[in-house]
Amino acid sequence: MIEEDYINLITAWAKTRGYNVFGKWDEDAFYDKDKEIVYSLRTKEKKHQMYSLLHECGHALAFDSKSYKDSFPNLAAIRFKTSRISKRRNVVKCETLAEEWDAWKRGFKLARRLGIEVNKEHYFDYASRNVMTYVRRIT
């Protein structure tokens, strides 16, 4: 299979979970309230578009899990507006990094479950480059 076929397979999987997937010129994103997953068409390589889509699906998997609020209590409080927490707090910054890495790991596991051939080293090299953008942004 080629990456475009895999993107279609991932999109079909997301639909079974109630999510709509869009390839847009926007940034990659997961919108829990709208049940949307977006991957950026600005990313040149289809392989990287697929990796990003897997990552955003990883966010959906984490968000839908029973452990989300326990794993990321401050992010959950911000997202669900259950308490006022400053995004500048170090604990929020650390949870953000943990949540991002968790979504990359969940995306990789999803690829395996769906039978998608992913080079683990390439995938996590790409993942780490993306997570480092958060490190630079929040420090």
CA distance 1 to 116: 8
Q: What is the mean pLDDT of residues 71-78?
A: 94
Q: What is the mean pLDDT of residues 85-93?
A: 93
Long-range contacts formed by 114-121: CB under 8 A, 24+ apart: 114/6, 114/9, 114/10, 114/13, 116/1, 116/6, 116/9, 116/10, 116/50, 116/54, 117/1, 118/51, 118/54
Residue 72 belongs to domain spanning:
3-138
Q: What is the mean pLDDT of residues 3-15?
A: 97
pLDDT of residue 81 exceeding 90, the answer is no
Residue 58's alpha-carbon distances to 23, 26, 63, 71, 85, in angstroms, are 17, 19, 8, 14, 24
Q: What is the pLDDT of residue 67?
A: 94
Q: Say which residue the tokens 């926007």 belong to.
A: 26
Q: For the segment 26-69, what is each residue's pLDDT rounded down to a tens digit? A: 899 999 999 999 999 998 899 999 999 999 999 999 999 999 99
Q: How many domains does the chain have?
A: 1
79: its two tokens: 């997202």
pLDDT of residue 139 exceeding 80, the answer is no
Q: Sort 5 into a burial class: Cβ within 10 Å, 0-12 / 13-18 / 19+.
A: exposed
pLDDT of residue 80 exceeding 90, the answer is no
CATH of the domain at 75: 1.10.10
Q: What is the pLDDT of residue 83?
A: 86
Q: For the segment 90-135, what is each residue's pLDDT rounded down to a tens digit? A: 999 999 999 999 999 999 999 999 999 999 999 999 999 999 999 9
